[in-house]
Amino acid sequence: MTDQGAIARILSECVRYWRETGLSSGVIAEMRDQLAEHLRETTSAGNPPDRVVGSDVGEFAENWAAEYRSRAPRQAWTEVATGERANRRARQREMTLYGLGIVALVVAVAVSEGDASVDNEVWRWLWTGFAIVMGLGEIFTAGFFLLPFAIGAAAAAILSWIGVSIMAQWLVFFGVSLVAMVYLRRFIKRQDEAAPQSVGANRWANTRGIVLEAIDPLSSSGIVRIGGEEWRAISDQPIPAGSQVIVREVTGSRLVVTPLQS
């Protein structure tokens, strides 16, 4: 097997091991890129990839992950996981909303079979109470999770107080809640996307720092101090230690920097 084939096999086995251990996709991608670069460098120096990794690829993958975690700042290690948790919460929230909508439709159909036996006076208070409970719940959760149903229940309560049929009340509740849900999706997505960006490396874009360890574009090595924290940094040009730099962008757990012009 050629060296390139061996590198591809090692990367594939390491990625599979990291996925099985539950690491986030962002962290796995970062570690894979660094490992691929390391293996290419060692191969160019005359060391076969299999000799670098050893006989137990799983143990090597575990050691590489431990070393990566010790090098990367804690914020960078958790940043992607935080974003994925936010996305997972958003998906769970949407599934719950759709589930509640389906339940509302089913109940509406059931009620339509016997709305004549149910006094409209009862529904007035039920809708009003439901709208109040959902509204208070939204105030405490502040995630646009219960607000669509609070709006729908309020609309149904208005209809019940003016004497509209119970079937119409349910249809309005379901329709208004669905429309409100679709409209509020933009705010839900904006909230979920903005949350992870308030922490981690992204906040350092366009800020200044100082080089602690010389930045070498060939080996992608270098460390800068910025805002009292130390971060790995890369650049398209060599930057000696002690130089001042400005952060242009963030890629993974590394800051892309350029020398600060005097």
Closest CA to 224 of 245, 204, 207, 203: 245
Residue 236 lies in a domain: yes
Tell me if 33 sits within 8 A of 4, measured CB to CB: no
Please give the Cα distance from 213 to 220 (Å, whole number): 12
Please give the Cα distance from 206 to 235 (Å, whole number): 14
HSE of 156 in the Cβ direction (CA atoms, 13 Å)? Answer: 33
If one counts the domains in the chain, the total is: 3
**Residues 95 and 184 reside in one and the same domain:** yes
Which structure tokens are listed for 93? 């929230």
Tell me if 246 sits within 8 A of 207, measured CB to CB: yes
**Residues 98 and 191 reside in one and the same domain:** yes
Secondary structure in 3-state letters for 95-139: HHHHHHHHHHHHHHHHHHHHHHHCCHHHHHHHHHHHHHHHHHHHH
Q: 0.75 cut: is pTM over it?
A: no
pLDDT for 78 equals: 47
Which structure tokens are listed for 168? 């119409």
* Domain span at 99: 89-197
Residue 26 lies in a domain: yes
**Residues 46 and 112 reside in one and the same domain:** no
**Residues 175 and 249 reside in one and the same domain:** no
In the chain, which residues have pLDDT < 50? 74-82, 115-117, 195-200
pLDDT in tens, 168-194: 888 898 888 888 888 877 766 665 555
From 197, 215, 233, the end of a domain falls on 197
Please give the Cα distance from 182 to 152 (Å, whole number): 13
The DSSP result for 171-203, as a single string, is HHHHHHHHHHHHHHHHHHHHHHHHHHHTSSGGG
Residues linked to residue 226 through DSSP beta bridges, in sequence order:
229
Which structure tokens are listed for 255? 């800051």
